[in-house]
Amino acid sequence: MRAAMTRRRALVAGGSGALIAAGAFARSGSGAAPSAARSQDALAFLLALQRVEAGFYASAVRAGALRGELASFARAAADHERRHVALLEQALGARAPADATTEVPDDLVRRPGRFALTAVRLEDLVVRACNGQAVNLAPDALATVATIVSVDARHAAWIRELVGMSPSPETADAALTARAALDGLEREGLLE
Amino acid sequence: MSETPRTRAQFVAMAGAFTGGLLVPRAARAAAAAGTDRAVVGRLLLLEQLQEAFYAEAERLSALTGEVADAAQALGGVERAHAQALRELAGSAAPRVPRFDFRGATEVNGAFAATAVALEELTVAASKAQLTRVRSPEVLEAVIAIHSVEARHAAWMRSLAGMPPAPDALDEPRDAEIPARFLETTEPRTTARRDPTFPA
């Protein structure tokens, strides 16, 4: 599994290789309209994040260890994230990077408490990462991502409420850089 | 005895309590004031003012109970911060505040939750429609950070209303104005602070 996860990190990062190369993990230059290439890189990076989410929830549903509303949440999120992935793949067309292996450590999806806390941190992270890439997206791509990010924000609120946390703890979902997002996924055990 | 901030950190913390900690970068204010983003910010500000007024009225009347009252208080603080941030972005171009009428929806838990869902969903969809019209990266960064928080609010209120928090895989944009039923009159007020609905 280690090899598969390492490959996944490479693919997530590789999906935005040009962003990395340009040192543009934070944002595009102020006032400059994002180029088509930069927009595609940002979209590819967000696709990789959505694939991580989709893999996480699909694994949880397959594992069958969740019960009650937590199980309902996992099923709904799995369905939504699968559709988010499909939408971004469609938007990127032939430029969509190859899918990564989506193995997830059993511990994350078989223990309800661990699953829920991972889901909270994952959803919060993806919302902020999407917001962070907004300035790198061309208008069409931004319109596509905007239909997704608010649903992920709903997921974040939903799972937060399920674990007894405030559904909306901040006044703003501050932008997260791609590098910080990758580091966060690694901390959660979703990347190595 | 009143409490006053004794250190810079305490002052910042206190200011955060008023603004919700949402600080608008100076560059964003300059971009909105100078550019074509002014109209976008103005539209978003109207929606935030609608919500600000709704939650402020609920807090002022103190008729809600339990979880619904707690949520109203929490969201009221956030919407005040959003409105303040957008007022800063709009500067002198800030639109005048309409007089709102919530027709008793701030006094009963059920009506409050249903109306909150409607207002939050309206704001999510209408904000989304505006995102692609923003030209300045700084303004975009500010408004998209608010947009996703509104979606969290929508999910929260839907849950309180007994509805699925995330009913669809995708949230579609919608160009929407403030529904006429929430407008008491078309006569504008000069400033928000002259309206007793808005705490100074």
Residues from chain A that touch B153, judged by Cβ atoms under 8 A, are: 157, 167-168
Domain assignment present for B185: yes
Task: Test A147 with B164 for CB contact under 8 angstroms.
Answer: no
Host domain of residue B136: 38-194
Q: What per-residue confidence (pLDDT) applies to B156?
A: 98
pLDDT tens digits, B142-159: 999 999 999 999 999 999
Q: What CATH number is given to the structural domain containing B97?
A: 1.20.1260.10
Provide the pLDDT for residue A103.
74
pLDDT in tens, B33-60: 567 788 899 999 999 999 999 999 999 9
The answer to whether B131 contacts A143, with C-beta atoms less than 8 Å apart, is yes
Please tell me the predicted confidence (pLDDT) of residue B29.
65
Give the pLDDT confidence score for residue B14 in this predicted structure: 29
Return the percentage of chain B with pLDDT > 90, whole number. 62
Average pLDDT over residues B165-178: 94
Written as one letter, the residue type at A55 is: G
**For residue B187, is it within any domain?**
yes
Whether B63 is in a domain gets the answer yes
Residue B81 lies in a domain: yes
What's the structural domain count of chain B?
Answer: 1
pLDDT at position B192? 40
Q: Which residue of A has its CA nearest to B77?
A: A171
Distances (CA, A) of A121 to A145, A154, B66: 20, 13, 28
Closest CA–CA distance from residue B86 to any residue of chain A (Å): 12
Does B2 fall in a domain? Answer: no
Q: Is the pLDDT of residue B26 over 70?
A: no
pLDDT (average), residues B113-132: 97
Mean pLDDT of B161-168: 98
Q: Write out the E strands in B16-119.
A: 99-100
Chain B: residue whose CA lies nearest to A84: B169
What is the DSSP-derived secondary structure letter of residue A74? Answer: H
User: With a CB-CB cutoff of 8 Å, which residues 75-94 of chain B face chain A?
Assistant: 75, 77-78, 81-82, 85
Most confident of A102-111, B3-12, B53-62, B91-100: B53-62
Pairwise CA distance, residues B43 & B126, whole Å? 9
* pLDDT-derived band at B186, boundaries 50, 70, 90: low
According to the 3-state scheme, what is the secondary structure of chain A?
A: CHHHHHHHHHHHHHCCHHHHHCCCCCCCCCCCCCCHHHHHHHHHHHHHHHHHHHHHHHHHHHHCCCCHHHHHHHHHHHHHHHHHHHHHHHHHHHHCCCCCCCCCCHHHHHCHHHHHHHHHHHHHHHHHHHHHHHHHCCHHHHHHHHHHHHHHHHHHHHHHHHCCCCCCCCCCCCCCCHHHHHHHHHHCCCCC
- CATH class of this structure's domain A2-23+36-187: mainly alpha
- Confidence band of B96 (pLDDT split at 50, 70, 90): confident
Ranges of chain A whose pLDDT falls below 50: 1-7, 10, 13-30
Q: What's the whole-number average pLDDT of chain B?
A: 82
pLDDT at position B18 over 60: no
B168 and A CB contact within 8 Å: yes
Residue B148 lies in a domain: yes
Higher per-residue pLDDT: B18 or B89? B89
How far is the alpha carbon of B133 from chain A, nearest alpha carbon, in Å? 8
User: Residue A90: what residue type?
Assistant: Q
What does the pLDDT read at residue A34? 85
Domain ranges of chain A: 2-23+36-187
Is residue B9 included in any domain, yes or no? no
To the question of pTM greater than 0.80 for the whole model, the response is yes
Please, which residues 10-69 of chain B have a Cβ atom closer than 8 Å to chain A? Answer: 19-22, 27, 31
- Least CB–CB distance from B82: residue in A31, A171, A174: A171
